Structure 1
Amino acid sequence: MLLARMDEESAMKVIPARIALALFVVAGSAQADFSDEEALALSYGDKTMVSITTGMAQPINRAPAVATVITADDIEAIGATDLDEVLETVPGLHVSHSTLGYAPIYMIRGIASQYNPQVLMLTNGIPMTSVLAGDRGTVWGGLPVENIARIEIIRGPGSALYGADAFAGVINIVTKNAGNIDGTQVGVRYGSFSTRDAWLLHGGEIDGMQVAAYLRVGDTDGAKEPVPADAQTRLDALFGTNASYAPGVTNLGRRMLDGSLDIARDKWRFRIALKRRSDGENATGLAQALDPAGRSFSQRVTSDLTWQDRNFAQDLDLTVQGSYYYLNEKSDLVLFPPGATFPTGTFPDGMIGNPYLWERRFLFSVSAFYTGFGNQRIRIGAGRGNDSLYRVRESRNYTYTYIPGVGNLPTPLGSVVDVSGSGAFMSPHSRSNNYLYVQDEWSFARDWTLTGGIRHDDYSDFGGTTNPRLALIWDAGYNVTAKLLAGRAFRTPSFQELYNINNPVATGNPDLKPETISTAEAAVSWQPVSSLQLGANIFHYKMRDILRFVPNADPTTGSTAQNTGSQAGHGLELEASWDASKTVRLSGNYGYQRSTDKATSRDAGDAPHHHLYMRGDWRFMPDWTANAQLNWVIGRDRIAGDPRPNVPDYRTLDLTLRKGNARYGSWDVAVSIRNLFDATVLEPSPAPGSIPYDFPLARRSAYIQLRYGL
C-alpha cells in the first residue's frame, strides 16, 4: 500500500492535511478503504502538511519550526508495534530507557534525564504529562500504534504555543477518526516473548454522527535479556550474602487494555480514551536490584469536548475546548530481595515499598484565528489549567537511619506499615495555571514570511514565565525554502522536585523556578528534481537553571532540588527521500549533536553523538511490499563522574513483508523480523552503575499480524 505507485506526479502532489482528531486510545490496527493511488496520495500528501507548529495546517517546508510528520502508512510499512519504534526513525531523536520499568526517554538533540520531562507528549493536543514527575507516568507499559493516524514532532522549543515542558521538543499523536477507518477491521498479532494482541476498529456514521471506536487487548512476557549484576550484587559482596537475583534476566511482562471513542457532529467533537496496564513487571527493578516478584498497575483516562466554528464571524475561526486527565498508579515493589543486608539490619522478606497515587488535570482553553488583514494570520488564545496530585498512599517495611560516613540507609521495620498519614513520600498538592498567547504569521513581502509568537504562563506555586519565538521563512526558489528560527522554552518544576518529603535521599524545594532553554536554528529544504527531497538544519541551544538534586551541607539530610548549572549543545540534522523508481523508495536521516555540561566542561552524557537511520521500501508485485530499515547509534559518552567505559555502539536491521491492505472482505498479512542479525543493544543505566553493564534491550524477535476488513 505504501509503495502502490511512485511516479513523479504523485511524489510532487500536495494535498491539504486531513488531521485525524480522535482519542480514547487503546492500541489496535486500522486502515482506510482506499484505492492504492488514493492511499499513496493521502499518505504522502499528508506528509507535506503539518499543524503542530502553528495550530493550523500548512506546508511542512514553510512551517516556523523544524518538524517531522509520520503517517499511518509509514508506521505500517516499517512493521512497528509500539510508539517507541516509530519515534526512533525521527532525525535528532533517540529512544532510550529508564530504570523505572524501562519507561521511554525521548532524547532530542542530546537533552536527556531520568524522567524526561523536557519533552511534551500530546494526544490530539491534550498533554499526557504526569503531575508527580513531569514525565508520562512511571508505569508506562508502551503505546500501541494501530489507532494512530499520524504523529507530528517539533524538534526544538515549543513553549510559545504549548507552554510548559515543550522544552526540547513536542510530540503530538493524532488518532484515527471515522473517515480514517471507514468500516470495521479486526486484527490479531502473535510474536516473540509470547506477545499476543487483538483489536477491533470501527468508523462510520450513526444518526448523523461520525463515530470511531477502538478496542485492543494484549499481553506479553517481555524480553528476557541477561543482567549479569545489579545493585544487590554489590551489597552481597560487602556483607557476604547471596541475596541477588543476578545473574538474572529483565522482567518486562504486562497485560494491556486500550480503548477509545470519538464522536463528532456539526461543530462538536467528544473524545474519551483509556490506557490500562496491569501485572506490569519492573524491568531491572526500581532500585536497580532485580525484582521478579514486584508488580505495577496504571490506569489513564483522557477526555475532551471541543466546539469549533470556522466561520464564527467574518475572517474568524473560533475554538473552545475543555479536557480532563486522570491517572492512577499502584506499585507493589520489592526494592531489594529477601536477605538483603545493610549496616542497619537484614530484610528477611525483602525491602518492600508500595507507593500509590492518584492524579487529575482539568484544562479549559479558547483560541481564535483571524485572517482579515489579508497578508497576516493572527492567532490568540487563553486558558486555565489545574493539576492535582489529590491522593497518595504508601506502605513499606523500612525507615531511614543516618550512618556517619555512609549516608542515609534503610532500616528494617519488621513488617509492612501503612505510612500514608504522615510518612508518605508526598502529601497531596495542586496548582493552577493561567496563560495567554498571541501569534502572528505575516507575509510581509513576496516569498518572505515572519512568524512571531509569545506566551505568558502564571503558576500559583512558582509565579510567571514568558516565552517568545521568531521564525523568518524565505522561499528562495520554487523548490528551495530557507528558515531562521529562535525561541525560548521552559519546563515547570515537578511536584516531586517541589514537594518531596520523607525521602532522605531527595527532598523537594518549594522555592524552585523553571528550567529554561534558548535555541537558535537554521534550516533549508530543497527538491532538486521531483523524485528527490533533501533537508538540513543546524541548531545551538543553552539550558539555564537546570533542575537537579544537589547534596546538602548536612549529610544527614541527603540532597535537595535546586536550580543549578547550565548546559549548551549544538548539532545538525540531515534528511533525504528518493523515489528511485516507480516501485522503490529510499529514505533516511542523520543526526549529530554535542552537548556540554558547563559545570564540569564534560559531555552531558548518555545521548548518541551520531545517529544514522536508513529505510528502503519496495513494491515487488501487486499487493506485495517489503521494507528494510537500518538504525545505527554511535558515540554515547558517560556523564561526569561515571568511570565505566562508554556505552557500546550498535546497529540493527529490521525487515517487514506485507501482503494485501485489509480492504473490505479481504485479509492483510504482515511478517516482521526486528534486529535480524541479533545485535547486542544496550541503553545507559544511571551512574554510578548499580546495573553496571547497562540496560539490555531485546535481541532478535519476530511477529506475524493478520487483519480483516469487514
Structure 2
Amino acid sequence: MYIRLLIILINLTIISFPSYAEDETTEADREAIEFLKGLKLEELVEVEVTLDNVFNVFDGLIKARKVTIATGKEQTTDRAPSVTTVITAQDIEATGATDLDEVLEMVPGLHVARNRAYNPIYIIRGIYSTFNPQILMLVNGIPINRLYFGNKGAMWAGMPVANIARIEVIRGPGSAVFGANAFAGVINIITKTKKDIEGTEIGTRIGSFNTQDAYILHGGTWAGFDIASSLEYRNTDGHNEIIDIDAQSHFDNQFGTNASLAPGGVNMQKRNLDARLDISKENWQLRSGYQGRRNIGTGAGTGEALDPIGHFTDDRFNADLTYHNSTFTENWDVTAQLSYFQTRYNTNNQTIFPSGAFGGAYPNGMIIDTSISERNNRLDLSGFYTGFKKHTVRLGIGYHYGEMYKIKHYTNTNPTTGFPIQNLMDISNTSYSFIPEGSRKNWHVFLQDVWNLTPNWEWTTGFRYDNYSDFKSTLNPRFALSWQPISKFSTKLMYASAFRAPTFSELYITSNPVHKGNLNLNPETIDTWELAFNYHVRNNLHLATNLFSYKWSDGIRYVPGASKGIFIADNVGIQKAYGLEFEARWKMTKKSSLLANYAFVKASDENNKHDAGNYPQHSAYVRSDWLLMPNWFLDTQINWVSERQRAFGDSRSPVDDYTTVDFTLRRKNIKKGHWNFAVSVRNLFDVDAREPSQGPDSNGVINIPYDLPLAGRHYWLELRYHF
C-alpha cells in the first residue's frame, strides 16, 4: 500500500505541474495534496484510477497514434503511407458527440454537408456530390457501401457512438488497398470488443427536439469466449428549422394555387435501434450487427417540396467470420474473412408534391413509394510475408458478389398516360419500374511491399487489380517514400490512384422522367500527389502539415440527351484541386490541452472553367479540454466553415460562412468510479448555419433558394453507470 501511495504522489506531482514551469508549485498542487491527506487508505485505489484517467485524456492527444487502415498492419500515423486521422473513444466521450457526423467534424479537411433528405455528405478535399459515393465506409474493415447509389445508404439516419472504439480515416485515395469507392477518402468504424468495455455500462440521454437515447454495453468472458455486446436505442422528433420556399411554391405561382407547405419545418424525425455482438477465441472472431431505422423523416422533401407525412424505413444486417493467425508459419501472418451484408429500405407514403399539387390534379398529393433489397457476400484472403530481408510483403485476393432484388414501385400517376389516378398502382417488375433487378461480381488481387531501405528511409509500393462483371477492370497503384531523419520529425511523399465504381442507378435507371442510366459508363478515376510533414516539437506539442493536388477524371455527370428534358449519365466531368491541411496538438499544462486544425482547398470544374462549388475553401476546428477540478472536465469546440462558392450555373451568392461553438461539461468517477454525468450545449450562440441546396433544374428554377438550415441551439443531459 505504501508503494501505491508513493506512485500516486508521483502522479500528482507530474500531473499538477505545467509543462512549461516544472520547478514551480501551483495552487492546484497544494489542493491536490490536501485532498490526498484527507483520504482513507482504502480510497487510494479510486484516486489512482481517477488521476490515471486524467493523464490519459490529455496525453493521448499528443502521442503518435496507431493506425491499421493504411496498410493492413498497425503503424503510427507519422509513418503510414497515407494521410490518416485516428479518433478514439476518449475523444468521442470528451467532446460529447452523440452521432458519427459530429465526430467526423474533428477531422482536418472533412466537412459534413447535407442533401435535401438531410443525409450527410462527407466532403473531403472539395469532392462534393449529392449521394456521396466517393467515400468508402467500412465497419470493422468491411464495406457497407450499397449498389444503388454507391454510398452508405439513401436513408442513413445517423450512427450512434457509444459502441465505437475508434475511427480511422484516410484523407485521399485508398483503392490500392480497398478497391472501389476509396476515392476521396476511407472511413473505418471499429466497434468495441471485450477489452474495450470490461464489465457492463448503461447510459441514458435526454435532450432537445424530444430526444431520448438509451444504451447498454457488456464485455466479459463466457465458456472461454470473449464476448462483447451492445444495444442502443434513439427516438427523436429532430429539429424543425424553417424552409421558406420549396419546389411546390414555384408550381403555386404557375398554377395560381396555394398547395405549398412552405414556410414550414423540415421533417427530421427518426427512431433507431442498433445491436451488435462480438465473440472471439484465440484466432477466431465472429461479429454480427443489426441497424434498424424507422419513421425516418424526409428532410426537406424527396422532391424538394416539404413532406411531413412521408417517412422511410431501413434495415441493415451484417455478419463476418474472421480467422487471423500472426504466426501461421515462421514468416506468414495470415487472415481469412467471410462476410455478409444485407439491407432493405422502403418509403411509406412518400409525397413528392403535397395535396392540391398541379392545380389540384393530385388531391392527396403525388405519391411514389419504392423499396429495394440488397445483399453483398465477400471472401477475402490476405497475408504478410516477412521472409525477405528488409521487406514486408502483403498479398491478397478476394471475391465479391452483390445483388439488388425485391424491387417494388408504387405510384398514383398512370405511367402510360401520365395522368393522376386515385389509388396507388403497383408497377413493379414492369418496364415502368424505376430500376430493374441486377447483380455485380468482382474479384481482386493486390500486392504491397514495404521496403526498409535504411533505418530512416522506407519505400512502400502497392498495386490492386479489380475485375468487374458490369464494367471494365481497373489497376490502381500507390507509392510512398517516408524519411525520418530524427526521431521527432518525419516526412512522406506519396502518389496514388483510385476509382469509383458506377452505381446501379447510373447504369440501369430507365423510367425516370429526367435522368437515364448508361450501360457504357467507365469508373471515375483520381490521381493524387501528397507531401506530408510530422514534427513532435516537444513532448507536449505536435505539428502536422500536408500538401496535396489531384485530378479527378471521367466524373459521371448527367448531360442532355437526344430528347428534350432528358439527361443521360456520362463520363464527362474533370475536376482539379490543390490545398493543404494543418494540425496542431498542444498539451498546454497537465490539466489542459488544445487541438486545432485548418484546411484550405481550391477545386475547379475544368469543363466549365469555374469553381467546383458547394465545398468550403477554408475550414477550421478548435477543441480545448480542461480539468477544472478533480473529475470535472470542460470541453469546448469551435467549428468554422468559410467561402463556399456556388457550382457552375447557380447564380446565387456564395453560401454564408458560419462558426458554431459547442460546450460539454462532464463529471467523471462519481461514487467510486461507477457514475458519469454530462451536460452539453450545441450551437451555443444559436447561429443560423446552412448547407447548400441543389442548384437550378433544367428550367433554371432553384427549388429551395435559401439553402438547408441546420439545427439551432440545443442541449442534452447524459448519465452513465459502469459496473
Q: Is the 8 A contact 2:381 2:397 kept in 1?
A: yes
Aligned counterpart for 2:146 among listed residues 130, 133, 137: 130
1:580-618 deviation line (CA, Å, top 9, x unaligned)? 111010111000000000011101000000001111100
2-side partners of 1:335 and 1:682: how far apart?
Answer: 23
- Change in 2 beyond 3 A, CA 1:468/1:111: same
Q: Is the 8 A contact 1:47 1:71 kept in 2?
A: no
1:100-120 deviation line (CA, Å, top 9, x unaligned)? x21110000000100000000
**1:382 alignment partner in structure 2:** 397
Q: How far does residue 37 in structure 1 lie from its aligned partner after superposition?
A: 2.1
**1:695 alignment partner in structure 2:** 708
1:501-546 deviation line (CA, Å, top 9, x unaligned)? 2112111111111000000000101111111100001000001011
1:53-88 deviation line (CA, Å, top 9, x unaligned)? 000110110110110000001011111010000101
Aligned counterpart for 2:410 among listed residues 371, 385, 395: 395
1:417-464 deviation line (CA, Å, top 9, x unaligned)? 000020211111001000000100001123000001000000011121
Q: Is the 8 A contact 2:245 2:704 kept in 1?
A: yes
Q: Is the 8 A contact 1:8 1:531 kept in 2?
A: no
1:28-61 deviation line (CA, Å, top 9, x unaligned)? xxxxx96542675494588611110000110110
1-side partners of 2:17 and 2:334: how far apart?
Answer: 40
1-side partners of 2:467 and 2:132: how far apart?
Answer: 23
- Aligned AA (2:252): D
1-side partners of 2:320 and 2:671: how far apart?
Answer: 31
- Aligned AA (2:520): D
Q: Is the 8 A contact 1:506 1:561 kept in 2?
A: yes
1-side partners of 2:55 and 2:465: how far apart?
Answer: 41
User: 1:494-643 to 2 correspondence within 5 Å?
Assistant: 494-555=503-564, 558-643=566-651
**1:339 alignment partner in structure 2:** 356
**1:278 alignment partner in structure 2:** 294
**1:22 alignment partner in structure 2:** none
2-side partners of 1:493 and 1:512: how far apart?
Answer: 7
Q: Is the 8 A contact 1:5 1:37 kept in 2?
A: no
Q: Is the 8 A contact 2:82 2:494 kept in 1?
A: yes
Whether 1:653 aligns to 2:661 is yes
Query: Which structure 2 segments of 5+ residues have no match?
Result: 1-11, 20-47, 697-701
**2:388 alignment partner in structure 1:** 373
- Change in 2 beyond 3 A, CA 1:92/1:665: closer
Whether 1:458 aligns to 2:467 is yes
Q: How far does residue 645 in structure 1 lie from its aligned partner after superposition?
A: 1.1
User: 1:69-108 to 2 correspondence within 5 Å?
Assistant: 69-99=86-116, 101-108=117-124
**1:199 alignment partner in structure 2:** 215
- Aligned AA (1:449): E
Q: How far does residue 415 in structure 1 lie from its aligned partner after superposition?
A: 2.4
1-side partners of 2:191 and 2:531: how far apart?
Answer: 31
**2:224 alignment partner in structure 1:** 208
**2:23 alignment partner in structure 1:** none
SS at match of 1:488: strand
**2:682 alignment partner in structure 1:** 674
SS at match of 2:328: strand
Whether 1:57 aligns to 2:54 is no
1:228-264 deviation line (CA, Å, top 9, x unaligned)? 0100000001110000000001110011111100000
SS at match of 2:573: coil
Q: How far does residue 399 in structure 1 lie from its aligned partner after superposition?
A: 4.6
Q: Is the 8 A contact 1:210 1:265 kept in 2?
A: yes
**1:159 alignment partner in structure 2:** 175
1-side partners of 2:51 and 2:521: how far apart?
Answer: 55
- Aligned AA (1:703): W
Q: How far does residue 401 in structure 1 lie from its aligned partner after superposition?
A: 8.4
SS at match of 1:160: helix
Q: How far does residue 559 in structure 1 lie from its aligned partner after superposition?
A: 1.1
Query: Greater relative contact order (Cα 8 A, min sep 6): structure 1 or 2?
Result: 1
SS at match of 1:679: coil
**2:446 alignment partner in structure 1:** 437
- Change in 2 beyond 3 A, CA 1:440/1:36: farther
**1:307 alignment partner in structure 2:** 323
1-side partners of 2:590 and 2:429: how far apart?
Answer: 68
1:534-564 deviation line (CA, Å, top 9, x unaligned)? 00010000010111111102216x1111111
Aligned counterpart for 1:181 among listed residues 197, 202, 206: 197
2-side partners of 1:118 and 1:5: how far apart?
Answer: 44
Q: Is the 8 A contact 2:62 2:587 kept in 1?
A: no
1:631-663 deviation line (CA, Å, top 9, x unaligned)? 000000000001111110000000000001478
Q: Is the 8 A contact 1:400 1:504 kept in 2?
A: no
1:650-700 deviation line (CA, Å, top 9, x unaligned)? 000000000014787621000000000000010001112311111111000
Q: How far does residue 413 in structure 1 lie from its aligned partner after superposition?
A: 2.9
Q: How far does residue 192 in structure 1 lie from its aligned partner after superposition?
A: 0.4
- Aligned AA (1:348): P
Q: How far does residue 5 in structure 1 lie from its aligned partner after superposition?
A: 4.7
**1:298 alignment partner in structure 2:** 314
Q: Is the 8 A contact 1:6 1:579 kept in 2?
A: no
2-side partners of 1:135 and 1:411: how far apart?
Answer: 34
**1:362 alignment partner in structure 2:** 377
- Aligned AA (1:581): T
- Change in 2 beyond 3 A, CA 1:510/1:289: same
SS at match of 2:313: strand
**TM norm structure 1:** 0.93
2-side partners of 1:35 and 1:222: how far apart?
Answer: 36
Whether 1:218 aligns to 2:234 is yes
Q: How far does residue 8 in structure 1 lie from its aligned partner after superposition?
A: 9.1
**1:685 alignment partner in structure 2:** 693
SS at match of 1:564: strand
2-side partners of 1:350 and 1:678: how far apart?
Answer: 35
1-side partners of 2:716 and 2:366: how far apart?
Answer: 38
2-side partners of 1:194 and 1:47: how far apart?
Answer: 40
Q: Is the 8 A contact 1:160 1:489 kept in 2?
A: yes
Q: How far does residue 414 in structure 1 lie from its aligned partner after superposition?
A: 3.3
Q: Aligned pairs, how many?
A: 674
Q: Is the 8 A contact 2:62 2:539 kept in 1?
A: no
Query: Which structure 1 segments of 5+ residues have no match?
Result: 10-32, 403-409
**2:35 alignment partner in structure 1:** none
**1:15 alignment partner in structure 2:** none
**2:5 alignment partner in structure 1:** none
Whether 1:329 aligns to 2:345 is yes
Whether 1:488 aligns to 2:503 is no
- Change in 2 beyond 3 A, CA 1:273/1:34: farther
- Aligned AA (1:397): N
Structure 1 runs, 4 residues or longer, greater than 3 Å off: 3-9, 33-36, 38-47, 399-402, 661-665
SS at match of 1:76: helix
Q: How far does residue 411 in structure 1 lie from its aligned partner after superposition?
A: 3.6
**TM norm structure 2:** 0.91
**1:246 alignment partner in structure 2:** 262
- Aligned AA (2:103): V
- Change in 2 beyond 3 A, CA 1:661/1:398: farther
1:445-487 deviation line (CA, Å, top 9, x unaligned)? 2300000100000001112100000000000222110010000
User: 1:113-128 to 2 correspondence within 5 Å?
Assistant: 113-128=129-144
**Cα RMSD (Å):** 1.8
1:173-206 deviation line (CA, Å, top 9, x unaligned)? 0010000000001100000001100110000100
2-side partners of 1:623 and 1:140: how far apart?
Answer: 36
SS at match of 1:555: coil
